[in-house]
């Protein structure tokens, strides 16, 4: 069980509430004011969550690097040389 202050929970609610960890929610003085018990996810919910997270990560990589989807996919194709290989 993780102990988390109300202020931290407020700032990082999306992170904490998507995990499977039980939370003890505290005032900033350390007094526990409540608990959060996450619902058990089904396997399909886990798959859907992972696919969504992967999609968001890919979109962020593409936006930050300016790469196309094909260029990113080429990085994972073992039949193609790694474009950033400094040993060549």
2-51 residue pLDDT tens: 999 999 999 999 889 888 899 999 998 889 999 999 887 778 888 898 99
59-77 residue pLDDT tens: 999 999 999 999 999 888 8
**Sorting pLDDT into bands at 50, 70 and 90, what band is 83?**
confident
Q: Give the pLDDT score at 9.
A: 92
Domain ranges of the chain: 2-36, 43-75
Which region holds residue 30: left if phi is over 0, alpha if psi is between -120 and 50, else beta? left
Q: Give the pLDDT score at 19.
A: 87
Q: In what order do the strands lie in the sheet with 23-26?
A: 2-5, 23-26, 32-36
8 Å CB contact between 22 and 35: yes
């Amino acid at each position: 069980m993780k102990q988390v202050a109300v202020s931290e929970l407020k700032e990082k609610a999306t992170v904490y509430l998507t995990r499977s960890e039980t939370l003890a929610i505290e005032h900033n003085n350390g007094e526990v004011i409540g608990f959060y018990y996450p619902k058990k996810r089904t396997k399909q919910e886990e798959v859907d969550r992972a696919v969504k997270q992967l999609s968001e990560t890919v979109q962020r990589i593409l936006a930050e690097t300016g790469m196309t989807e094909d260029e990113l996919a080429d990085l994972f194709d073992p039949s193609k040389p790694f474009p950033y290989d400094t040993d060549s």
